[in-house]
Structure 1
């Protein structure tokens, strides 16, 4: 995992204002979220069974997640690599596993070794800066 130093950490926004901007940049609300904390998730690179993700954690300050008026605060973004087993799943459906369609297959490595770290740090920081630039009202104070 590569932690990124960006202007986004500590900033607050309304979920309904920031989420469309994130979607335009192919960053979605990650699975396994809770009502008071979650991750925005985007793919920086996918090569075979290796996927490099940009993850942006956030906490809910007020409201309930996915409500447009919910106020959130961003945590420290990071880059993470997952290595998926693209071979046969001998305990499950081989066809789904070999085609990569088995969404329930666990990654071989959830936090794999990232080669060319500076490249992915720069790419993650570039995407985060694009978010900050696209949402100039993003501020450390309450936005509403």
Structure 2
């Protein structure tokens, strides 16, 4: 995991507004959200190792499954997960394996992050800043 510096840290937004602005450039709300916190994720690559830019947030007014929730952004980071290949190779029990292992544990959850993905994460953060921080004219 590699933290990315941003002026967005500790800024507050309506979650609806964040989704409205960031979904068009590829961000999604990560599936591992709870009622009080979650992540905006964008996949950087998925060839053997999955690399993501993740922007964590905490609910400060309301719960994430409620309309109008306000969130505070936290420090973004780039992370990589290397997953086991071949879990579903045996076609006789592939459906069962898929049910049991749908949330597969990474083989190396703290894989090294190549510089190119760190740079991609920084570029995305600059784009997010440009979209969210009002310009002074």
Give the direction of change, closer, same or farther, for the CA distance of 1:132–1:95 in structure 2 (3 Å limit).
same
SS at match of 1:107: coil
1 or 2 for the larger relative contact order (CA 8 Å, sep ≥6)? Answer: 1
Please state if 1:120 is matched with 2:120. Answer: no
The C-alpha deviation readout for 1:63-107, integer Å capped at 9, x for no partner, is: 1214342111100000000001112458997646xxxxx632222
C-alpha displacement at 1:21, in angstroms?
A: 1.6
How many residue pairs get aligned? The number is 133
Please state if 1:21 is matched with 2:16. Answer: no
| RMSD over equivalenced CA pairs, Å | 2.9
Give the direction of change, closer, same or farther, for the CA distance of 1:94–1:113 in structure 2 (3 Å limit).
farther
Q: Which residue of 2 aligns with 1:104?
A: 103
Please state if 1:78 is matched with 2:62. Answer: no
CA distance in 2, matches of 1:29, 1:45: 17
Question: Is contact 1:61–1:72 with CA below 8 Å preserved after alignment?
Answer: yes
Instruction: Return the TM-score normalized by structure 1.
Output: 0.78
Please state if 1:36 is matched with 2:58. Answer: no
Give the gaps of 5 or more residues in structure 2: 96-100
